[in-house]
Structure 1
Amino acid sequence: MKPYKNKINRIRSFALALIFIGFVVMYFGIFFKQYPLVMVIFMVLGLLCIIASTVVYFWIGMLSTKAVQVVCPNCGKATKMLGRVDMCGHCREPLTLDPELEGKEFDESYNRKKPAQSGE
């Protein structure tokens, strides 16, 4: 079984990774002190990663305000849900608001407009 994560937490983790990637890229620029142009390129690339992280954090923050807040039936904690199916952000319980999907095996493809065909 594939380990699923809450969509909001997954996007926030990606944004955090962008920050660390940006710092590492900037750090590599220090090794090129003798070549100022190369050092500046690394510094700018690192800065772009950090700016991209800020944009992603802003985007998920705006998306989070529109998310449906539900109480998980398993752990009883409030969590935000994006799409037709999502995982609880605390206990990873599969959640859905669609009565048609109730009791079915959890699959992220239910969030797509056209579900994936089996056998492809």
Structure 2
Amino acid sequence: MAKKYSNKINKIRTFALSLIFIGFFVMYGGLFFRTSPLIMTLFMIFGLLFIIASTVVYFWIGLLSTRTVQVTCPTCNKQTKVLGRVDMCMYCNEPLTLDRELEGKEFDESYNRKMAKNKADS
């Protein structure tokens, strides 16, 4: 069975969006404890912490996006960002690399890790 890969930036943005929804659900969960102000307040604070964590993740991915290389995807001809040695097109999930040593090799996200880099060099 083939692995499902997606663009790293989109994965992180999806994670940040899920933190917002988790925060809202936790806050709504606090409404079930209206009779106990302490428990309700704890739920509201935990929900707020999830939303603050989401803001931090969005800020971090914004900073990370400034270090990416913009390339034109050879398949869909749209501008996309490449983060690391290998990445996927944001639009059509075409495997992309800027490393000449990896051209023609099967796509694997582990090429972005330092240990895999040493293996690819061997």
TM bucket by the smaller chain? Answer: over 0.9
Moved over 3 A (4+): none
Provide the aligned length of Structure 1 versus Structure 2.
Answer: 117
Q: What is the one-letter code of the residue matched to 1:47?
A: L
CA shift at 1:115, angstroms?
Answer: 1.2
1:86 maps to 87
Identity of aligned residues (%): 71
Within-5 A mapping of 1:97-112: 97-112=98-113
Distance 2:31 2:25 in 1: 10
2:61 maps to 60
Structure 2: where are the runs of 5+ without partners?
Answer: none
Q: What is the one-letter code of the residue matched to 2:18?
A: A
SS in 2 for 1:115: helix
SS in 1 for 2:92: coil
2:7 maps to 6
TM-score computed with the length of structure 1 as normaliser: 0.95
Q: What is the one-letter code of the residue matched to 2:116?
A: P
CA RMSD of aligned residues (A): 1.1
TM-score computed with the length of structure 2 as normaliser: 0.94
Q: What is the one-letter code of the residue matched to 1:83?
A: G
1:42 maps to 43
Q: What is the one-letter code of the residue matched to 1:45?
A: F
